[in-house]
Amino acid sequence: MAQRVLVTGGAGYIGSHACKVLKRAGFEPVTFDNLSTGWEQAVKFGPLARGDLMDRASIDAALETWKPVAVMHFAALSLVGESMRDPGTYWRVNVTGALNLLEATVAAGVKNFVFSSTCATYGDQDGVVLDEDTPQRPINAYGASKRAIEEMVANFGAAFGLNHTIFRYFNVAGADPEGEVGEQHDPETHLIPLMLDAVAGRRPALTVFGTDYPTRDGTCIRDYVHVMDLAQAHVLGLNRLLDGGPNRVFCLGTGRGFSVREVIEQSRAVTNREVPILFGDRRSGDAAALVCGSERAVRELGWEPELSTLPHMIADAWRWHRAPKFHE
Ligand code: UDP
């Protein structure tokens, strides 16, 4: 029988792609999700255990029913701007949810934990290419809540022998090239899907948030990683834990950043259409540039982020964008 993995947030964007790759690797992914931001139709690769991380009993019940060998924790509130407007909710949901999950995981005797963290834990680092040893200085409540969870995970590792892998990454893009799952948020706040909405005439224009950053063209620079490459890294990290590998943090990026203007430029090349744009103010909580290297993941996990080029990510996102979506 396939080994089961409890995937919190498995109905969401990254979680659903992780479920696909887990299944392909021979695991049975069990999605634990409250469907607050995820889609039931995205749960295609294994069962759905509907529950809520704020409800400890629902976590205990899922662990008891499915007896996973590992927990992969994606479920969280993840919008930088929203976290600045409503920090209390971010702290409450992200930190309490993770705490409940960690306690339930230990109580159920599950020994392996993979945590989806973020380069937003680093804050603004002045053009430095981030790596695992860069000091973490978050500048928004989202990043601060994730850093706190990283520490919780490490504490549970030390106290209870919970083996763990932590991944830090930032701008995930693209979609399953086979079109089974893709990115869909409601409301959408991310650059590439919003840009494609504007290209397709689903919204009047894309607003570029800030043109006065200290970057090469004044717009923010981000490191974009293909969602399937990211999912693959999670499976590699899981396998390493199951093989008895040590607790480790891995940054997942390409080491190359693209500005908002450069992303828009690439979109023109991929879609052959103009992107209607407006120029707006900076968005609160945004760092000027976030780029992270992934030498450790390449070296220790054998990670090969082969789909993570901007044309590939935009092309996959564009294909998904034009296909039927989950709620239509
Ligand atoms: N961005 C933008 N207009 C939008 C959405 C995003 O200019 O409508 C910019 C944003 O300021 C950031 C980059 O695009 O520099 C990526 O933002 P996104 O929300 O996709 O991801 P984040 O970096 O917040 O994880």
Tens-digit pLDDT profile for residues 29-66: 999 999 999 999 999 999 999 999 999 999 999 999 99
DSSP state of 51: -
Residue identifier of the C-alpha nearest atom 13 of ligand 1 = 191
What is the arithmetic mean of pLDDT over 204-211? 98
Q: Rounded to whole angstroms, what are the CA distances from 327 to 14, 185, 206, 316, 319? A: 18, 11, 23, 19, 17
pTM: 0.96
Tokens representing 40 are: 């039931």
Please report which confidence band the pLDDT of residue 284 belongs to, taking 50, 70 and 90 as the band edges: confident
Query: Percentage helix, strand, coil, to 5, in the chain?
Result: 40, 20, 40
- Pairing status of strand 258-259 against strand 221-222: antiparallel
Ligand 1 centroid vs 313 CA: distance in angstroms?
A: 15
What is the pLDDT at residue 244? 97
CA–CA gap between residue 166 and residue 72 (Å, rounded) = 10
Please report which confidence band the pLDDT of residue 286 belongs to, taking 50, 70 and 90 as the band edges: confident
Ligand 1 centroid vs 257 CA: distance in angstroms?
A: 13
| φ and ψ at residue 208, rounded to 5 degrees | -85, 120
Q: Which residue did the predictor score with more confidence, 297 or 187?
A: 297
What is the pLDDT at residue 285? 80
Q: Is 135 exposed, middle or buried (0-12, 13-18, 19+ CB in 10 A)?
A: exposed
192 CA closest ligand 1 atom index? 20
Residue identifier of the C-alpha nearest atom 4 of ligand 1 = 191
Alpha-carbon radius of gyration of the chain: 19
120 CA closest ligand 1 atom index? 25
| φ and ψ at residue 277, rounded to 5 degrees | -125, 155
Ligand 1 centroid vs 260 CA: distance in angstroms?
A: 8
Ligand 1 lining (C-beta closer than 6 Å)? 80, 170-171, 189-191, 194, 206-209, 220, 222, 260, 283, 286
Ligand 1 centroid vs 29 CA: distance in angstroms?
A: 30
263 CA closest ligand 1 atom index? 14
What is the complex's ipTM, to 2 decimals? 0.98
Q: What is the DSSP code string of 247-277?
A: PEEEEE--S--EEHHHHHHHHHHHHSS---E
220 CA closest ligand 1 atom index? 15
- In our burial notation (b when 16+ CB lie closer than 10 A, e otherwise), range 70-103 reads bbbbbbbbbbbebbbeeeeebbebbbebbbbbbb
| φ and ψ at residue 243, rounded to 5 degrees | -85, 5
Please report which confidence band the pLDDT of residue 328 belongs to, taking 50, 70 and 90 as the band edges: low
Please report which confidence band the pLDDT of residue 178 belongs to, taking 50, 70 and 90 as the band edges: very high
CA–CA gap between residue 321 and residue 44 (Å, rounded) = 19
* Domains with residue ranges and CATH for the chain: 4-173+225-252 (3.40.50.720), 191-222+255-322 (3.90.25.10)
Ligand 1 pocket test, candidate residues 172, 209, 227, most atoms within 8 A of CB:
209
Ligand 1 centroid vs 267 CA: distance in angstroms?
A: 15
Q: SS3 for 42?
A: helix
What is the arithmetic mean of pLDDT over 104-133? 94
In the chain, the percentage of residues whose pLDDT exceeds 90 is: 92
Q: Rounded to whole angstroms, what are the CA distances from 51 to 43, 105, 248? A: 14, 15, 29
Ligand 1 pocket test, candidate residues 85, 199, 260, 264, most atoms within 8 A of CB:
260
190 CA closest ligand 1 atom index? 20
Ligand 1 pocket test, candidate residues 183, 207, 222, most atoms within 8 A of CB:
222
Ligand 1 centroid vs 299 CA: distance in angstroms?
A: 30
249 close to 168: Cβ distance less than 8 angstroms:
yes
Please report which confidence band the pLDDT of residue 241 belongs to, taking 50, 70 and 90 as the band edges: very high
CA–CA gap between residue 205 and residue 75 (Å, rounded) = 30
Mean pLDDT of the chain: 96
Catalytic positions, please?
142
